[in-house]
């Protein structure tokens, strides 16, 4: 079980690293001037590759978490309300990941309407999600 837990932590941290950096690329894309085609294309290529890699990292992170819960019973039984809250955080992280994919599609199609400031705030969401998830798992407040 400890190997599964260690790998889960590594894949979750790696997945979130991608979610931390991808919106930073969107900040830069939102700041690209209209005539900078090469810069825009380079940033879009980086964003596409990072989204693909981040998506691949999410799969084992989620699968290993489900193994810890379903096979080893971590978070099951009475007094494990923290796990229900963690499931909500995971669902929100998946929704955020999906939102990042939609944002990239908008940039590729040239339909971005948001400013770099908006993306700077958007970039803070995964930090808060990871903070809440770690507190829930370590502190188990309920």
- Using one digit for the tens of pLDDT, what is the confidence trace for 36-60? 999 999 999 999 999 999 999 999 9
Residues 6+ apart with CB under 8 A from 5: 68
Residues 6+ apart with CB under 8 A from 42: none
- For residues 115 and 42, give the distance between their C-alpha atoms in angstroms, rounded to a whole number: 19
- For residues 37 and 6, give the distance between their C-alpha atoms in angstroms, rounded to a whole number: 43
Q: Residues, the chain, total?
A: 142
Query: According to the model, what pLDDT value does residue 72 have?
Result: 96
- Using one digit for the tens of pLDDT, what is the confidence trace for 64-110? 999 999 999 999 989 899 999 999 999 999 999 999 999 999 999 99
- Using one digit for the tens of pLDDT, what is the confidence trace for 116-127? 999 999 999 999
């Amino acid at each position: 079980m400890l190997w599964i837990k260690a790998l889960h932590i590594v894949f979750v941290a790696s997945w979130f690293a991608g979610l931390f950096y991808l919106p930073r690329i969107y900040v830069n894309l939102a700041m690209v001037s209209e005539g900078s085609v090469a810069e825009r294309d380079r940033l879009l290529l980086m964003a596409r590759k990072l989204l693909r890699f981040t998506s691949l990292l999410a799969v084992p992170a989620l699968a290993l978490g489900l193994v810890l819960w379903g096979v080893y019973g971590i978070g099951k039984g009475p007094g494990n309300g923290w796990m229900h809250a963690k499931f909500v955080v995971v669902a929100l992280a998946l929704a955020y990941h999906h939102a990042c994919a939609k944002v990239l599609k908008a940039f590729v199609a040239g339909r971005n309407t948001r400013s770099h400031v908006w993306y700077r705030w958007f970039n803070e969401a995964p930090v808060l999600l990871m903070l809440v998830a770690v507190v829930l798992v370590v502190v188990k407040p309920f």
